[in-house]
Amino acid sequence: MHVAIRAVAAELVDAVAGQGRCDFTGHFAEVLPIRIFMALVNLPMDDAGHIRKWAACMTRPNPPMPFEEAKQAFYDYLEPVIIARRAAPGEDLISQMVTADMGGRPLSHDESLALCTQVLIAGVDTVVNFLGFVMLFLARNPDARTALSGMDGNGVMAATHELFRRYGLVIIARTVRHDMEFHGVNLKAGELVCIPTQVHGLDERINADPMTVDFARRAGRHSAFGSGPHMCPGQELARAEVAITIEEWLKRIPDFRLAAD
């Protein structure tokens, strides 16, 4: 998988390197992780636009399509895919999920729909946005570019841990199942609790000088990928995509800055 990521990253950077400027989000961030992910789940790249639109409607405020309609669109899209992959599984991620042994039983159809929808949302949305934060930081910080350019692959991979700590962007939502009191706060059944994961990594009681990106920071603590049973299963893919992007970009474009506009 690393070889495939590096090949796509190099191709995309080469395409813009000689132009003098680019829209990083449109020319790179919205392309690399989605191309890799669509190959991983063996879905047509032409469908990525629809999937990203539905994902945005389920994760952004004031969506053009209500949450339930976007979820149903995912379910309608995935249902024939799941049925086909269960009948004739391949090596792709969806096939492996819908045929997995869940302690002596397979996933139910409803569980498969929910899980595959969650995986598609994560695969086409989160890394796209995070790459934008990383490149914005690097465009504004030449010393950081120099430091990363002098690192080997292991060093760059370790540095991504600090970038994920500083720019974690996922907000986890949970529905309260029953009335309860939690640390003196009364919570009612049906209420929504939203937890920005970034507040963990930016807590000065946990990480000194938390707003500063420090590649020498040792074991910076954060929850960018969740924790416990909710730890993101795609975190290694995300780390690889970010680290390889940094390596391939800085090889070809070591110095760059934000355009005046």
- Say if CB 10 and CB 246 are below 8 A apart: no
CA–CA separation, 61 and 57 (whole Å): 8
CA 65 to chain centre: 22
Confidence (pLDDT) at 118 = 86
Instruction: Give the position of tokens 């005046």.
Output: 260
- Measured distance CA(141)–CA(122) in Å, rounded: 28
pLDDT at 200: 93
| pLDDT score at 151 | 95
Angle between helices 109-140 and 67-87 (to 10 degrees): 110
Q: Look up the pTM and report it.
A: 0.85
pLDDT of residue 177: 96
Q: How many helices (H) and strands (E) does the chain have?
A: 11, 4
CA distance 245 to 162: 16
Four-point Cα dihedral 110, 116, 118, 122, nearest 10:
180
Q: Per-residue pLDDT for the chain (261 aa), expressed as one digit of tens each?
A: 789 999 999 999 999 999 999 999 999 998 998 899 899 999 999 998 899 899 889 888 889 999 999 999 999 999 999 999 999 999 999 999 999 999 999 999 999 999 999 888 887 778 888 999 999 999 999 999 999 999 998 999 999 999 999 998 888 888 999 999 999 999 999 999 988 889 999 999 999 999 999 999 988 999 988 888 878 878 888 999 999 999 999 999 999 999 998
Residue of 160, 165, 133 whose CA lies nearest to 241: 160
